Amino acid sequence: MEDVGAGMSATWLDTSGDGRHDIYVGNMWSAAGLRVSQQPDFHQADPDNVRAMYQRHARGNSLYKNLGNGRFRNIAAEAGVEFGRWAWSSDTWDFDHDGYSDLCVANGYISGIEAPELSSFFWRQVVGNSPETLAPAADYEHAWNAINELIRSGHSWSGHERNVIYANNQDGSFSDISGISGLDFPDDSRAFAFADLDNDGRLEIILKNRNAPQLRLLRNALQRIGNSLVFHLRGTKSNRDAIGAAITVEGAGRRQTKYLQAGSGFLSQHTKEVFFGLGEANSVLSVSVRWPNGTVQNFQNVPPNHRVEIVEGSPGFRGQPFSSAAPTFVRPKPSPVPSPLPTSVETWLLQPPHAPGFSLPDTAGKKWDLHSIHGNRLIVFWSSASDQSREQLRSLAAHETSLKDTQVLALNVDDPINESALRAFAAAAKFPFPLLPGMSDVVGIYNIVFRYLFDRHRDLRLPTSFLVDATGACVKVYQGIFDARTVSRDISMIPSTTADRVARALPFPGTLHLGEFQRNDFTYGVAFFQRGYLDAAADSFQQVIAAKPDNAEAYYNLGTLCLRRKRLDEARTYLEKTVQLKPSHAEAWNNLGMIAAEAGQTDKAVSDFKQSLQFRPDYTIALLNLGNLYRRQKMFADAEQLLMRAAQTDANNPEALYSLGLLYAQQNDNQHARDKFQEALKLRPGYADALNNYGVLLVREQRYSDAEQEFQQCIHNNPDFDQAYMNLARLYVLLNDKPKAREILETLLRHQPDHQMAQQALKMLH
């Protein structure tokens, strides 16, 4: 028995009444997975048996039929129970008391409000890029990072999935009755538990969801229902709860066995009473109990429709008829309608982040530097197109006296092209606080601050305001319109200790037993870095180091940031600290090699690149860097070995193919050079360096028309790539077409007026 699905839960049941227990396993059925995994280009390099595993994974739940010889066979498809969507919890339940176990599946992952749904993205980009080995794979890592950001930004992933109920047809097959059962809620369900809460002999369902309503209590309201029998066991020699006991009920030609178990479905525990459906059987029954210690007790004349209590070792049992259902449970009530979300929300922050600095002129030209202002500050992000924004500004102005000790800075997020309209608005309104045209970088940085304040990542809604205390920390966020007098009250009660912040921020009192609430400045640093806000990124990484001086990744990111800015000495210092803290940091060794190569320290560069590859032998970037270093030193055999390894490690890496093209071109192996340039361009059609050097190779082969086409294509795709202009101008000079050469140089100078080589070449053509 092998199951290649996710295996979220498993349960035992006798599907056909043959007395043998089968196994039902909850997995992840996916329409997108079924479609994508069947496509020819999906993991096309993998063997058929591996592709078949992916396809089986997408088909959903498994039902393993007990063959009676110690073996099982998956009959989920023929039984009609594969479909279960993202099945967190699957378990058995004889809802109609016919004596045959039915199936209940609680499903759904994350329901959001943004399009598109991410199941297809998951199968195409995450599963589709899943590496064959445990080696790091950039595309796979990036896909996971992307989907995690998308689900935190409001997208659905297997969202709005309805729970599934299967009725046992008593012949080994099942029918999907989800819609008529009343249990097919589109919630993000996680788990459920069965219990007879009103002692009427029917199991209620307690359904636990990720989203609202987080808890549903559902009663079995089926009117035509079979008889039943309920057992409550108490161990004396065995464990008190009798976990592991087997109960067998015989009567009316049927024999059923069920087990008392601990733990059910997904992170669930049903009642410890054991329920048997009896169908129409209403005569007395024979019962045997095999206790966990192996002792067997037999009982006769057990009446149906009773709750039967049995104590281990006692010769008799105590039976009690079921109670009648309470009248309030007979008729279903509609689910309550959720209250609308508030339009204004105020949040005290558990760990206030540092407010990023800025220096901006107001509409009158006066400069305002955030961190040069003493005392408390209120930063209001607003738009002239937002009625709520304008109302907020008027409210702040009307209560100016309440804010006399607070500097209000109103940052406008409108397009700078409308700055004249902003000035006119400011002149007419005469607000007692400055209106600042918000630069895109400032707005972008604060948008990131806002996105990562909360678990659900959202862009700034307008208006949104940040209360910054005298230390420069953002202590509170106001979303939507708020009363200006609230700020005055809040300033008087800004918390100064962790305990005070927790008391202000949480909606309920309590004691935190697992450490403390902490904001991840490293996440902020990475987010700023990825979006090009390098100063803000550096500040965040410095804050990480101040709090955790042994954080190697923070030093690495600071070093990489300085390397991007060409601050090589600073970069070297941070990266050396990285490898001191974590000697096996392959990426840091690689970057140290790049710094050494830039400084002309070839031996040091080679040593650092080799260190990187020692810790991560298949690190493509280090293979390329060392290979190209050997290529420039004309150590062609060593270079080819490394560059070929890079191309084999990452078959979709155009840089590896391009570098091989340069290597072969240096050795006048035009055919191989041409092949590699073309392969690189197939992977990245607009690759500027490859287009340009392929053009140079074509000039060498005197294929001037083809070379001209490559240079022109390079310029078209990369208008700021100067080498293609210069090479095309040289080609025109070679062809004795000086007017075209002058024209192309003039075009370059329109893009880059200070380009000295173009200026000199143009002078020589006059």
Residue-wise pLDDT tens digits, 357-391: 999 999 999 999 999 999 999 999 999 999 999 99
Task: Tell me the average pLDDT of the chain.
Answer: 94
Residue 417's pLDDT is what?
A: 77
- Whether residue 136 is predicted with pLDDT greater than 80 in this model: the reply is no
CA atoms within 13 A on the CB side of 211: 17
Give 262: exposed, middle or buried? Use CB within 10 Å, 0-12, 13-18, 19+: exposed
Out of 2.40.30, 2.60.40, 2.60.120, 3.40.50, which CATH number does the structure's domain 227-329 have?
A: 2.60.40
Work out the average pLDDT over 9-21. Answer: 91
Would you place residue 328 in the very low, low, confident or very high pLDDT band (cuts 50, 70, 90)?
Answer: low
- Whether residue 327 is predicted with pLDDT greater than 70 in this model: the reply is no
Q: Is 193 helix (H, G, I), strand (E, B) or coil?
A: strand
Amino acid at 404: K
Share of the chain above pLDDT 90, in %: 85
Q: Model confidence over 633-642: pLDDT tens digits?
A: 999 999 999 9
Work out the average pLDDT over 60-77. Answer: 95
Work out the average pLDDT over 280-292. Answer: 95
**What CATH homologous superfamily does 685-765 map to?**
Tetratricopeptide repeat domain (1.25.40.10)
- Whether residue 623 is predicted with pLDDT greater than 90 in this model: the reply is yes
Residue 332's pLDDT is what?
A: 63
527 CB-near residues (< 8 Å, 6+ apart): 448, 451, 452
Residue 41's pLDDT is what?
A: 93
Range 497-501, long-range pairs (CB < 8 A, 24+ positions): 501/348, 501/349, 501/350, 501/351, 501/352
- Whether residue 324 is predicted with pLDDT greater than 70 in this model: the reply is yes
Residue 326's pLDDT is what?
A: 67
Would you say domain 345-505 falls under CATH 3.20.20.70? no
Q: Which of 122-136, 509-523, 589-603 has the highest mean pLDDT?
A: 589-603
Domain boundaries, the chain: 9-120+156-219, 121-155, 227-329, 345-505, 685-765
Provide Rg for the chain, Cα atoms.
35
Work out the average pLDDT over 15-44. Answer: 94
Pairing of the two strands 359-361 and 345-348: unpaired
Q: Model confidence over 551-577: pLDDT tens digits?
A: 999 999 999 999 999 999 999 999 999
Would you place residue 329 in the very low, low, confident or very high pLDDT band (cuts 50, 70, 90)?
Answer: low
Residue 2's pLDDT is what?
A: 74
121 compared with 17, residue with greater pLDDT: 121
CA distances from 690 to 179, 213, 423, 665, 698 (A): 58, 57, 49, 12, 12
Q: Model confidence over 79-123: pLDDT tens digits?
A: 999 999 999 999 999 999 999 999 999 999 999 988 889 999 999
| CATH topology match: 227-329 vs 345-505 | no
- Whether residue 506 is predicted with pLDDT greater than 80 in this model: the reply is yes
Lowest mean pLDDT among 75-84, 411-420, 482-491: 411-420
Q: Which of 637, 609, 636 is nearest to 624 (CA)?
A: 609
| Integer Cα distance of 657 and 644 in angstroms | 8
Would you place residue 470 in the very low, low, confident or very high pLDDT band (cuts 50, 70, 90)?
Answer: very high
Q: Model confidence over 630-684: pLDDT tens digits?
A: 999 999 999 999 999 999 988 889 999 999 999 999 999 999 999 999 999 999 9
| Integer Cα distance of 750 and 307 in angstroms | 91
Q: Model confidence over 589-612: pLDDT tens digits?
A: 999 999 999 999 999 999 999 999
Work out the average pLDDT over 276-305. Answer: 96
Cis peptide before 213 (omega within 30 of 0): yes
pTM: 0.84
- Whether residue 461 is predicted with pLDDT greater than 70 in this model: the reply is yes
DSSP state of 340: P
